[in-house]
Amino acid sequence: MQPAPQTTARTATSAAHAPILALAGVSRSFGPVQVLFDVDFDLYPGEVHALIGENGAGKSTMMKILSGYLEPTTGEVMLDGAPVSFTSSEDAEDRGVVLIHQEFNLADQLSVEQNIFLGRELKRGLFLDHKAMRATTNELLARLETKTPAWATVSKISVPEKQMVEIAKALSREARVLIMDEPTAVLTRNEAEILFRQIERLKAQGTAILYTSHKLDEVARIADRVTVLRDGRHVLTAPASELSEDAMAEAMVGRELSNLFPDKADANAAETVLVLKDFSVPGIVENANFELRRGEILGFAGLVGSGRTELMEGLIGIRPATGEIRVNGKARQIRSVDDARKAGIAYLTEDRKERGLLLNQGMRPNLTLLALQKFSRILIDRDAEEKALDRSIREFDIRAPSREIKVANLSGGNQQKLLLAKTMLAEPEIVIIDEPTRGIDIGTKQQIYQFVRRLADEGRSVIIISSEMAEVIGLATRVAVMRTGRIAGTLKGGDINEDAIVRLAMGLEKKAEGND
Kindly report, residue by residue over 306-326, the tens digit of the pLDDT. Answer: 899 999 999 999 999 999 999
Would you place residue 103 in the very low, low, confident or very high pLDDT band (cuts 50, 70, 90)? low
Half-sphere exposure of residue 87: CA atoms within 13 angstroms, side-chain side: 2
Q: Dihedral sign for Cα 505, 507, 510, 511, please.
A: positive
Q: Does the residue 413 lie in any domain?
A: yes
Strand partners, 430: 345, 461
Say yes or no to pLDDT of 511 above 60.
Answer: no
The pLDDT of residue 16 is 45
**Are the C-beta atoms of 337 and 319 separated by less than 8 Å?**
no
220 and 279 in one domain? no
**Could you say which of 387, 405, 427 is where a domain stops?**
427
- Is 433 a member of any domain? no
What per-residue confidence (pLDDT) applies to 116? 87
Residue 261 lies in a domain: no
Say whether both 1 and 69 belong to one domain: yes
Across residues 467-472, what is the average pLDDT? Answer: 85
Top pLDDT among 77 and 416 is at 77
Of all residues in the chain, what percent carry a pLDDT higher than 70? 93
pLDDT top residue among 363 and 375: 363
State residue 356's pLDDT score: 72
Residue 477 and residue 451 in contact, taking contact as beta carbons nearer than 8 Å: no
Residue 2, pLDDT > 60, answer no
Please tell me the total count of domains within the chain: 4
pLDDT score of 332 more than 90: yes
Which tens digits make up the pLDDT trace of 189-229?
788 888 888 888 889 889 899 999 888 889 999 999 999 99
pLDDT for 227-240, tens place per residue? 999 888 999 999 99
359 plus 295 within the same structural domain: no
CATH number where 310 lies: 3.40.50.300
Interior angle at CA 334, CA 332 and CA 337, nearest 5: 135
- Print the domain residue range for 62: 1-96+177-256
Q: Which of 222, 257, 235, 146 is nearest to 191 (CA)?
A: 146
Where is pLDDT greater, at 25 or 12? 25
278 and 337 co-located in one domain: yes
Q: Are residues 234 and 90 in the same domain?
A: yes
- Domain membership of residue 262 (yes or no) is no
- Residue 513 — very low, low, confident or very high, per pLDDT cuts 50/70/90? low
Supply the pLDDT for residue 195.
83
pLDDT of residue 8: 41
Higher pLDDT, 467 or 355: 467
Question: Same structural domain for residues 183 and 163?
Answer: no
Highest mean pLDDT pick, 113-127, 258-272, 487-501: 487-501
Per-residue pLDDT for 384 more than 90?
no
| CA gap 327, 313 in Å, rounded | 16
pLDDT at 256: 60
Are 10 and 69 within one domain? yes
Q: Which residue has the higher pLDDT, 507 or 238?
A: 238
Arithmetic mean of pLDDT, 374-385: 80
Q: Check if the beta carbon of residue 35 is closer than 8 Å to that of residue 14.
A: no
pLDDT category, 157, cuts 50, 70, 90? Answer: confident
Both 109 and 58 in one domain: the answer is no
Angle separating helix axes 412-425 and 442-457, nearest 10 degrees: 10
Same domain, 46 and 164: no
Q: For residues 299 and 383, state if they share a domain.
A: no
Find out whether 134 and 121 touch, Cβ atoms under 8 Å: no
- Which of 427, 457, 483 corresponds to the end of one domain? 427
- Is pLDDT above 70 for 516? no
- pLDDT at residue 155 in the model: 86
pLDDT tier at 9 (50, 70, 90 boundaries)?
A: very low
pTM: 0.64
Local confidence band at 171 (pLDDT 50, 70, 90 cut-offs): confident
Residue 464 in domain: yes
Residue 262 half-sphere exposure toward CB, CA atoms < 13 A: 19
149 plus 163 within the same structural domain: yes
Q: What are phi and psi of 215, to 5 degrees?
A: -90, 95
Which of 209-223, 258-272, 388-402, 451-465 is predicted with the least confidence, judged by mean pLDDT? 258-272
Residue 23 domain flag = yes
The confidence band for 480, taking pLDDT boundaries of 50, 70 and 90, is very high
Q: What is the mean pLDDT of the chain?
A: 86
For residue 169, name the pLDDT band (cuts at 50, 70, 90). Answer: confident
Q: What is the mean pLDDT of residues 23-42?
A: 91
Residue 6 lies in a domain: yes
Where helices occur in 81-215 by DSSP H, the ranges are: 89-94, 112-116, 130-143, 159-172, 189-204
Q: How confident is the model at residue 54 (pLDDT cuts 50, 70, 90)?
A: confident
Distances, alpha carbon 187 to alpha carbons 159, 164, 192, 289, in Å: 8, 9, 6, 29
Residue 226 lies inside a defined structural domain of this protein: yes
Choosing from 427, 457, 489, the residue where a domain stops is 427
Same domain, 298 and 357: no
* Residues 357, 454, 513: CA angle, nearest 5 degrees: 95
